Amino acid sequence: EQFDVVIRNGTVATASDIMQCDVGIRDGKVAMLGRGLPAGKEEIDAAGKLVLPGGVDAHCHLDQPMEEGLKMADDFRSGTISAACGGTTTVIPFAAQAKGQSLRAAVEDYHRRAEGKAVIDYAFHMIVSDPSEKVLKEELPQLVREGYTSFKIYMTYDDLKLNDRQILDLLALARREGAMVMVHAENADCIGWLTEQLEEAGLTAPKYHATSRPMLVEREATHRAIALSELVDVPILIVHVSGKEAIEQIRWAHGHGLRIYAETCPQYLVLSEDNLDDGYHGAKCVCSPPPRDRANQQYVWDGLASGLFTVFSSDHAPFRYEDPQGKKPGGKEVPFRYIPNGTPGLETRMPILFSEGVGKGRIDLNRFVALTATDPAKMYGLYPRKGTIAIGSDADIAIWDPHKEVVVRNEMLHHDVDYTPYEGMHLTGWPVTTLSRGEVVWRDGNFDAAIGRGQFLPCGLPDPARPRKVIPA
Ligand code: URP
Ligand code: ZN
Ligand code: ZN
Ligand code: ZN
What does the DSSP assignment read for 207-241?
THHHHTS-HHHHHHHHHHHHHHHHHHT--EEE-S-
Distance in Å, CA 317 to ligand 2 centroid: 10
Q: What pLDDT does residue 42 have?
A: 98
For residue 144, CA distances in Å to 20, 75, 167, 172 come to 40, 25, 17, 14
Distance in Å, CA 342 to ligand 2 centroid: 9
Contact (CB, 8 A) for 247 and 308: yes
Contact (CB, 8 A) for 260 and 252: no
ipTM of the complex: 0.92
Distance in Å, CA 157 to ligand 3 centroid: 28
Contact (CB, 8 A) for 329 and 339: yes
**Residue from 151, 156, 288, 313 whose mutation best tests the ligand 1 pocket (most atoms within 8 A of CB):** 288
Alpha carbon distance 122, 92 (integer Å): 6
> What are the φ and ψ backbone dihedral angles of 228, each rounded to 5 degrees?
-65, -40
SS3 140: helix
Cβ(313) – ligand 1 distance below 6 Å: no
Alpha carbon distance 225, 21 (integer Å): 44
**Single-letter code of the amino acid located at 426:** H
Question: Residue 225 half-sphere exposure, CB side, CA atoms within 13 Å?
Answer: 32
Residues with Cβ within 8 Å of residue 442, at least 6 apart in sequence = 84, 85, 431, 433, 434, 448
- Secondary element (H or E) of residue 165: helix 164-177
Contact (CB, 8 A) for 269 and 303: no
Would you tell me how many other CB atoms lie within 10 Å of the CB of residue 231?
12
Alpha carbon distance 327, 166 (integer Å): 32
- Preceding peptide of 291 cis, ω within 30°: no
Mean pLDDT by 10 residues, the chain (473 residues): 96 98 98 97 98 99 96 98 99 98 98 98 98 98 98 97 98 98 98 98 98 98 98 98 98 97 98 97 98 98 98 98 98 98 98 98 98 98 98 99 98 98 98 98 98 98 85 58
Alpha carbon distance 136, 138 (integer Å): 6
Beta strands at 50-53 and 397-407: parallel, antiparallel or unpaired: antiparallel
Alpha carbon distance 455, 144 (integer Å): 19
Distance in Å, CA 121 to ligand 1 centroid: 22
Cβ(317) – ligand 1 distance below 6 Å: yes
User: Which of 183, 120, 123 has its CA nearest to residue 157?
Assistant: 183
Contact (CB, 8 A) for 129 and 96: yes
Alpha carbon distance 199, 195 (integer Å): 6
Distance in Å, CA 280 to ligand 3 centroid: 8
- Preceding peptide of 384 cis, ω within 30°: yes
Beta-bridge partners for 238: 183, 262
Q: What pLDDT does residue 229 have?
A: 98
| Residue located nearest, by CA, to atom 5 of ligand 1 | 342
**Single-letter code of the amino acid located at 314:** S
Beta strands at 55-57 and 88-91: parallel, antiparallel or unpaired: parallel
Q: What pLDDT does residue 467 have?
A: 79
Q: What pLDDT does residue 470 have?
A: 63
- Secondary element (H or E) of residue 127: strand 125-127
Alpha carbon distance 353, 358 (integer Å): 7
Contact (CB, 8 A) for 336 and 208: yes
Q: What pLDDT does residue 339 have?
A: 98
Q: What pLDDT does residue 473 have?
A: 55
- Secondary element (H or E) of residue 305: helix 294-306
**Residue from 162, 218, 315 whose mutation best tests the ligand 1 pocket (most atoms within 8 A of CB):** 315
User: Which of 304, 293, 321, 325 has its CA nearest to residue 415?
Assistant: 321
